[in-house]
Amino acid sequence: MRYSRIFAKTTKSAPADADSKNAELLTKGGFINKQMAGVYNYLPLGLRVLTKIQNIIREEMNALGANEVLMPTLTQEENYAISGQDAIDILFHLTGHGGSKLVINQSHENVITPLVKTYAFSYRDLPLAVYQIQNKFRNEPRAKSGLLRGREFNMKDLYSFHATETDFKKYYETVQTAYFKVYERLGLGDRVVLTYASGGVFSRYSHEFQALCEIGEDTVYLCSKCRVAVNKEIIDEHNFCPTCQNPNLTPVKAIEVGNIFDLKTRFTDAFKFKYADESGALQPILMGCYGIGVSRLMGTLVEIFNDDKGIIWPRSVAPYALHLVAVGSDEAVLREAEQLYQQLLGSKIEVLYDDRSNASAGEKFADADLLGLPLRVVISKRTLEKGVAEFKERSASEAELIPLQNVRHEIDQRCR
């Protein structure tokens, strides 16, 4: 993509109300634009990042054998009344023609449970798992911190249905493994810890996936031996590591980037969803739900991977793999850069080409640092005179000079 053709460019200053690093850098970089507190527009570069995170999650959910669906945003308020959730504080209510009472979904338990009930009747139909990647809405009084706490935000939500506790527990653990694969692929592998949290009325515990990060609004109590933590809600009653019983827990700041719940029969009972066992007798169905905040993960990555110059995207979610910069207006430079750009397009390398004629070298370098693509390749009159291009990994401090005849090969090695 030619940078000149992307309408949303970088801006020199962040908005005065940017209250977090992710809001500041994503806004300055032209990734997102605030519509109102907790509600953002995804601009061309930002939508590419969001889509890449979604696709990584989708692949891992498909690998679990889960079916992807897309549930609606609008739902009858009565569905929430059935489960007793119609008075949830953060639920947005609205009124349809004829006075019908509607909500916009803050989560989808009250939609998926009756939906699955339409198709699953027998022990042969279980277990089954269904997920979607959808926007959620919360009438959040304290929307803040850019993409971290929103009123409209993107989530992956997975729901599973089981005949037995053993089967549920096995699946619940499989999902934990899949979640860690997701975080690993996003570059957060060594940051995310499994955190024990309150299970609510029905279960002893739920589990959160907490990304350790100084600006996080959560405090978790991390075991000095395991990669396991206990959250604030339950630390008073559970002040030792649930895995190794170590009483040495350290409070650390973190951002919640996933959570999984044992819902038992909370929703299946409410919606009278049972299965027929082999003898034809009706039996209760156990249910789990598993969330990952997709847009929140995008914000979290920026909070964790940045320096004073800008974002440092993990390769797996960078909007483009390579930032090609042509410096100056020298014809030979533009010819060489254009030729390389065309070759890279032809070989399906994801390249952002800063072809602007009205930006200085300094502006282009500053923008490349701000945008944070993994590799910057510069072609200038000076590099051409030496027969080289300048390579700089965003995460490295030093640039390298690569002979022109090796440029394609080096890019192939680094950007695939």
Return residues touching a second copy (CB under 8 A): 5-9, 30, 33, 35-36, 39-44, 47, 50, 65, 67-76, 92-94, 96-98, 100, 104, 111, 115-116, 118-120, 124-125, 128, 130, 135, 137, 139-141, 151-152, 358
Q: Name the minimum Å distance from CB 357 to a second copy.
A: 10
For the bound state, the minimum distance from the C-beta of residue 268 to a second copy, rounded and expressed in Å, comes to: 15
Q: Which strand (E) or helix (H) includes residue 388? A: strand 388-393
Of the candidates 328, 258, 278, 333, the residue with the CA atom closest to the CA atom of residue 124: 278
Q: Are 181 and 175 in contact (CB under 8 A)?
A: no
Q: How far apart are CA 280 and CA 121, in angstroms?
A: 10
Residue ranges of the alpha helices (H) in 152-255?
165-185
* Min separation Cβ 140 and a second copy, Å: 7
Question: With respect to a second copy, which residue has the nearer C-beta, 41 or 342?
Answer: 41
Please say which residue, 76 or 265, places its beta carbon nearer to a second copy: 76
Looking at the Cβ atoms of 116 and 194, the one nearer to a second copy is 116
Shortest reach from residue 407's CB to a second copy, in Å: 27
CA-based nearest residue to 411, from 333, 300, 324, 329? 324
In whole angstroms, how close is the CB of 143 to a second copy at the nearest point?
9
In whole angstroms, what is the distance from residue 374 CA to residue 315 CA? 6
Give CA–CA dist 263/245, Å, rounded: 26
Residue number with CB closer to a second copy (73 or 83): 73
- Whichever of 140 and 390 has its CB closer to a second copy, that residue is 140
At 189, is the secondary structure helix, strand, or coil? coil
In angstroms, what is the minimal distance from the CB of 293 to a second copy?
16
In the complex, least distance from residue 355 CB atom to a second copy, rounded to whole angstroms: 13
Q: What is the gyration radius of the CA atoms in the chain, in angstroms?
A: 25
Residue type, 374: P
Encoding tokens for residue 55?
């696709």
Q: What is the amino acid identity at position 239?
A: N
Residue whose CB is less far from a second copy, 241 or 289: 289
- Alpha helices (H) in 7-43, listed in sequence order: 21-28
Q: Which is nearer to a second copy, 135 or 316 (CB)?
A: 135
